[in-house]
Amino acid sequence: MKVVTTIQALTAEIQARKRDQQSIGLVPTMGYLHEGHLTLAKTARAENDVVVMSIFVNPTQFGPNEDFESYPRDLPQDTELAASAGVDIIFAPSVEEMYPYDGGIRIHAGEQATILCGASRPGHFDGVLQVVSKLFHLVQPTKAYFGQKDAQQVALIATMVRDFNYPLEMRVVPIVREEDGLAKSSRNVYLNEAERLEAPAIYEALQLARDSFLTNGDAENALMKAKAHIAAKTHGKIDYMELLAYPDLTPVTANTEQVLLATAVYIGSTRLIDNCIFNVKEGL
């Protein structure tokens, strides 16, 4: 496995692979790798000749009240983990390498970024799209891999790929779950024993809402059932729960084909996110 830190070195690697007509899988990350990242890398390994993983803590997606400097970083550990998952090239640039100029041009994420998790993080998804766009241009991937756990982020990137005709295939890898259905997350360690027992109710609620919506097509009723389940099974506080057309994140209509059902719930002081994406026709 090679670790490159400059655009010039990355470009040389990519050009060599392109000359050999090799397919390239890209796994964008901010490092401090966990099981979700490694699942993406292993999926990319199975589907491509070459796997490139970016490890870059992107400053443009951090708000003024978010501490970019304290974001966890451990490149030596990440390198070992990436190698174990079959990554061929790690691209780990500095901030100066990725953003040597600022000509003032920006990517605006639009209305999709003003809801769900984006409601409390103005400008966050603008920065996400900026860095992902740069990575797409630099790596020129055949396929790019993202985790479904970050559903709003995935939806925004999918919209950018679709609307701006990026020549790649987006692969969305399903959420990795514990045996009881709880979505795996580094935040789960903050749950005490009682909270951990309540947390699986979040996924149970999503399943109830999904089944209800597929049965009768009533979004409001589906959400009501899910919220009632969380209220009955947990002491949690719902931050949001929405059922939206995917990937546009607009209200569901009669023409909607794919749906995102997403929620964020505070179990104790721990904010847990979860979602499911499904086709409307699954209920027919």
Question: Is residue 37 flagged as an active site residue?
Answer: yes
Q: Are residues 25 and 115 located together in one domain of the fold?
A: yes
* 225 neighbors 213 (Cβ within 8 angstroms): no
121 is in an annotated binding site: no
187 is in an annotated binding site: yes
> What amino acid is encoded at 47 in this protein?
E
Of 142, 173, 204, which residue constitutes the final position of a domain?
173
97-123 per-position pLDDT tens digit: 999 999 999 999 999 999 998 998 889
Helix then strand then coil, in percent of the chain rounded to 5, is 45, 20, 35
Of 144, 173, 202, which residue constitutes the final position of a domain?
173
Q: How many domains does the chain have?
A: 2
Entry pTM = 0.85
284 is in an annotated binding site: no
Q: Which residues 6+ apart lie within 8 Å of 110 measured at CB?
A: none
186 is in an annotated binding site: yes
35 is in an annotated binding site: yes
CA-CA distance, 98 to 142, in Å (whole number)?
A: 22
Q: Note whether residue 283 is domain-resident.
A: no
81, containing H or E segment: helix 75-84
93: containing domain: 2-173
Q: Are residues 169 and 213 located together in one domain of the fold?
A: no
78-93 per-position pLDDT tens digit: 999 999 999 999 999 9
Place of tokens 């199975």: 46
Q: Are residues 16 and 149 located together in one domain of the fold?
A: yes
229-267 per-position pLDDT tens digit: 999 999 999 999 999 999 889 999 989 999 999 999 999
Instruction: Read off the tokens for 179.
Output: 């045996």
Q: Are residues 30 and 98 located together in one domain of the fold?
A: yes
Q: Which of 37, 124, 229, 235 is catalytic?
A: 37
Phi (first) and psi of residue 76, to 5 degrees: -60, -45
Give the residue from 164, 99, 111, 96 showing the smallest Cα distance to 136: 164
Give the CATH number, domain containing residue 121: 3.40.50.620
